[in-house]
Structure 1
Amino acid sequence: MSTISNTHNDVTTTQLKQHPLQVAKRLEKFKTTIFTQMSMLAVKHGAINLGQGFPNFDGPDFVKEAAIQAIRDGKNQYARGYGVSDLNNAIAERFKKDAGLVVDPEKEITVTSGCTEAIAATILGLINPGDEVILFAPFYDSYEATLSMAGAKVKSITLRPPDFAAPIEELKSAISKNTRAILINTPHNPTGKMFTREELNSIASLCIENNVLVFSDEVYDKLAFDMEHISPASLPGMFERTVTMNSLGKTFSLTGWKIGWAIAPPHLTWGVRQAHSYLTFATSTPMQSATAAALRAPDSYFVELKRDYMAKRAILVEGLEAVGFKVFPSN
């Protein structure tokens, strides 16, 4: 009898006729994620997988050793819901160094199971059914799916080549009395675009004028090549209306650890933590301890990371152009 492969089991065609697969209406339009599809095709054809955001090399030894030591030290039970104290402090230290902002590690930082959960907790904790949320397309697929779970109305504004500039006039027209938030991803996945200070200032002015929140996904902040990364929260008048989301995985090549965080003022953190409490409650305890060590890495680590990725970018661009692709610059 023929079967249909399912993530959890094999479903026969007879079983399908008797019990059709059902999904909540809020998720009916969404298929298997593009990352799953591309990874399966890469395995099937023995191809290089450029679809999913993980490297083909391992993370640094000093971070892995910190995790091993944490396990040996007995840090293996539930962590505090919003994060191990040492990690919250390390995130605050890193944010001050990178964005120039002093935040309260106890009241303004929430540790999550990867940035994807930070995104989900932010959306589910701060967005009401019927709220409008503006996205810049193309975008990471979890944005729209999670907004659908929250019952939000998505408005999409397309970034177009060659420079993928933010169409400010189009954004201005898209904002209405029902607009609750703008979700920004900088550096941007998948275009590689980084929002400029001028663009971010224009977006900030619109947000302040219209009382709109910003959800800022900054997981690639340390993979910036030619431009300075700017956190929207660092702009005048923006911290109080911004949730900044980041993670360990991209910067330290440890995507399987799923350690992320959300930084926001207390009145926004409350909603994020309420959702987080009922999504995962807490995140891996020993990995949090190791992440604290990672975030306190010397500046040389980040300099070398950028240098290595710039060399890899040059190889990739040369290879793509050699087989006929037109490659737009990434910042």
Structure 2
Amino acid sequence: MSKLPHIPTSIFSVMSQLANEHGAINLSQGFPNFPVDQRLLDITKQLTHENTHQYTPMAGLPSLLEKISQLTYEKYTRKTDVATEILVTAGATQGIYTTINTLIKHGDEVIILDPCYDSYEPSVLVAGGKPFRIALNEDYAPNFNRIEAGITSKTKMIIINNPHNPTGRIWKENEFEALETLLEKHPQIVLLSDEVYEYISFTQPHISINTRPKLRERAIIASSFGKSLHVTGWKIGYLIAPEKLMQEIKKVHQFLVFSVSSLSQHVIASYLDIVDFDAIAKMYLQKRDLFRSLLEGSRFTLLPCEGTYFQVVNYEKISSKNDTDFAKELITHHGVATIPISVFYEDGTDKRMLRFCFAKTDETLVAAAEKLRRV
């Protein structure tokens, strides 16, 4: 019997496969197609010849845990206990899955804000919990009246994603204040904050839960070196949580993956000494601005992009087809792959929106935009 009988094959796999079949430019799945930093490759080459190939401690390589703690303090002035509050995971998705399956029991309710990344609901279902999907506002801001109305005595977790995939929106100060006020009324609720795009923000600084004392003692924060350092295939992420929560999460983690790729941990621990996250954000800002400028002559309407490496567009001036069919048409007839936004909603809300990934070479973006301007 299936635990996920109504969960289809991921749209990301579907669109990438269709793009491969038709030789389309793939702006669908969220992975860069440009080379990683040569310094990272040099460190990797060096460390492959050293004693870096055996199990690390379950919670993570000690030197990497120290670097994460240092980074968290430098960026957010939060002091973390290396031994009890940080866990290296096999990507942020594994960290999110492990967190949910640790803290959610059969019948517990979890509030998820739509549109949302597609791993949240299946993780809740496998844990035996009940997802409660609540739509964001038209501008993709959280609607706290709807959120509060959705809270019951069984609500045990709220999941937020900031900067937001798929829309690229960043939460504002007043929204965190409203969240703090709300959660003060409901001490049984923990917060899972997906912050994998934390170092890719443009128009305003990313506000991390790490900076919110009222929230962080009841919050689990998921981060991703794969996203931040554009090495998505390495599948290296980490969680930060107070000891009382992390202690339980580690119990499940040790029997799920035990420990994470040793070589990758050694390399990232060294690379964190030299990498400049501000430079990475500037690089993605250049790509965002390039892609947006290239689409100015098209019939697509561009939505704001405050963070992440995704650009959402509206195509209602072009077609009345539903977004999934139009996305497939873009691949088969125009040679560009994208992701329809409706798949991020529980009820398939279709506002004729598409998500393009601009974490690509400038040449790829130019070639894709040339095709899109002809649509």
The TM-score, its normalising length taken from structure 2, stands at 0.78
What secondary structure, in the 3-state scheme, does the structure 2 residue paired with 1:184 have?
Answer: strand
Match status 1:287 vs 2:264:
yes
The letter for the 2-side match of 1:276 is H
Percent identity, please. Answer: 36
Counterpart selection for 1:155 from 132, 135, 153: 132
Q: CA deviation at 1:159?
A: 2.1
Note the aligned Cα RMSD (angstroms). Answer: 1.4
Q: CA deviation at 1:142?
A: 0.9
Counterpart selection for 1:250 from 205, 218, 227: 227
In structure 2, distance between residues paired with 1:175 and 1:231: 23
Report if aligned partners of 2:106, 2:127 keep a CA contact under 8 Å in 1. Answer: yes
1:165 corresponds to: 141
What secondary structure, in the 3-state scheme, does the structure 1 residue paired with 2:221 have?
Answer: strand
Counterpart selection for 2:5 from 28, 34, 40: 28
In structure 1, distance between residues paired with 2:44 and 2:57: 17
In structure 1, distance between residues paired with 2:96 and 2:161: 11
In structure 1, distance between residues paired with 2:45 and 2:259: 19
Q: CA deviation at 1:160?
A: 3.7
Give the length in aligned residue pairs.
Answer: 305
In structure 1, distance between residues paired with 2:294 and 2:286: 13
What secondary structure, in the 3-state scheme, does the structure 2 residue paired with 1:141 have?
Answer: coil
In structure 2, distance between residues paired with 1:109 and 1:236: 17
In structure 2, distance between residues paired with 1:158 and 1:324: 27
The letter for the 2-side match of 1:277 is Q
1:73 corresponds to: 50
Q: CA deviation at 1:215?
A: 0.5
In structure 1, distance between residues paired with 2:297 and 2:18: 23
2:237 corresponds to: 260
The TM-score, its normalising length taken from structure 1, stands at 0.89
What secondary structure, in the 3-state scheme, does the structure 1 residue paired with 2:156 have?
Answer: strand
In structure 1, distance between residues paired with 2:29 and 2:85: 30
Q: CA deviation at 1:321?
A: 4.4
The letter for the 1-side match of 2:303 is F
In structure 2, distance between residues paired with 1:251 and 1:307: 12
2:119 corresponds to: 142
In structure 1, distance between residues paired with 2:297 and 2:4: 40
Deviations 1:35-83, CA, capped at 9 Å, x for gaps:
1011111212222222211111122122222222222112101111110
2:283 corresponds to: 308
The letter for the 2-side match of 1:209 is K
Bigger drift between 316-325 and 263-272 goes to: 316-325
Report if aligned partners of 2:199, 2:278 keep a CA contact under 8 Å in 1. Answer: no
Q: CA deviation at 1:270?
A: 1.4
Report if aligned partners of 1:94, 1:296 keep a CA contact under 8 Å in 2. Answer: no
Q: CA deviation at 1:267?
A: 0.7
1:8 corresponds to: none
What secondary structure, in the 3-state scheme, does the structure 2 residue paired with 1:199 have?
Answer: helix
